[in-house]
Amino acid sequence: MKILASLLSFFLLMPLAAQADHECVVLLHGLARTANSMDDLEEALSTSGYRVVNVGYPSRQETIDRLAVMAVEEGIAGCDRQPVETIHFVTHSLGGILVRYYLADNSIARLGRVVMLAPPNQGSEVVDEWRDVPGYEWLNGPAGQQLGTGEGSVPRSLGPVNFPLGVIAGTRSINPILSQSLPSPDDGKVSVENTRVEGMTDFIEMPYTHTFMMGAEPVIRQVQHFLRSGTFFHKSVSSHKPDSSHKSASP
């Protein structure tokens, strides 16, 4: 019976894997992180049959306008080197703003779906309160200075999205100091409310932190669900438990 069940599972999943084989997913990490922070997502999506391009970019060295062109076009070029019909994006934090900025003035002919993890779509009050603290700009670079909520905020200068977008917001914080600067609930870097953006297709809150949510298995399953169907699996949210033992993602 176990052999029969395994064979049945294989043949049921085979069409999905075959379809995903013609789809490419571009991964864009967040501010002051590297492509290594998206390794768990890369492995899971590759195992599901997607072609994956995990882009690393110098998030602390350039402004958002330059990073957007640099990172997004590198991802597109990576997908273009493979026989794919659709290009999806999965982003963490700043990576989502780069996609929004790029698509405000450019189009991607084969654009599929976009999933943003903890995006500061309306900016972050953390930047407002900490940007002038010595060492903050050195740590976060010019792009980090552009992610506030006031005048000069790049996220707030962007209009509604016009592409299929799912947003996952974290509701747990491991940084009580930064959380004091944020409306609750928050993930330690961005408030749940400020992850929202007009025009998004679906939205879900999950009990994970800004820093490590992209490595949490329930989050990864929701990413996969949205890429397949264009929606999140909301019925499963009540059963999600924060994984306190989850190892920290690589920087």
Domains (range + CATH), the chain: 19-230 (3.40.50.1820)
Distance CA 76, CA 104 (A): 16
Has residue 59 got a pLDDT over 50? Answer: yes
Q: How far is CA 91 from the centre of its chain?
A: 2
pLDDT of residue 232: 98
In terms of average pLDDT, the best of 20-29, 40-49, 131-140 is 40-49
Position 180 confidence tier, pLDDT thresholds 50, 70, 90 = confident
User: In this prediction, what percent of the chain has a pLDDT beyond 70?
Assistant: 85
185 upstream amide cis, omega within 30 of 0: yes
Q: Pick the range with the lowest mean pLDDT from 121-130, 188-197, 198-207, 232-241.
A: 232-241
Residues 6 or more apart in contact with residue 224 via CB below 8 angstroms: 44, 45, 48
Do 93 and 211 form a contact (C-beta atoms < 8 A)?
no
Q: What confidence tens digit (pLDDT) does each residue in 107-120 have?
A: 998 999 999 999 99
Instruction: Answer with the residue of higher pLDDT: 171 or 139.
Output: 171
Query: Has residue 244 got a pLDDT over 70?
Result: no
Mean pLDDT of 172-184: 88
* pLDDT band (50, 70, 90) for residue 16: very low
Rounded CA-CA distance 204/116 in Å is 11
Read off the pLDDT of each residue in 170-186 and give the average, rounded to a whole number. Answer: 90
- Residue 138 pLDDT > 90: no
Contact 197, 164 (CB under 8 A): no
> Per-residue confidence at 19, pLDDT binned at 50, 70, 90?
low
- Per the prediction, the chain carries an average pLDDT of 88
Q: Kindly report, residue by residue over 198-221, the tens digit of the pLDDT.
A: 999 999 999 999 999 999 999 999
* Cβ neighbours for 245, distance < 8 A, ≥ 6 positions apart: none
List 24's β-bridge partners, or say none.
51, 87
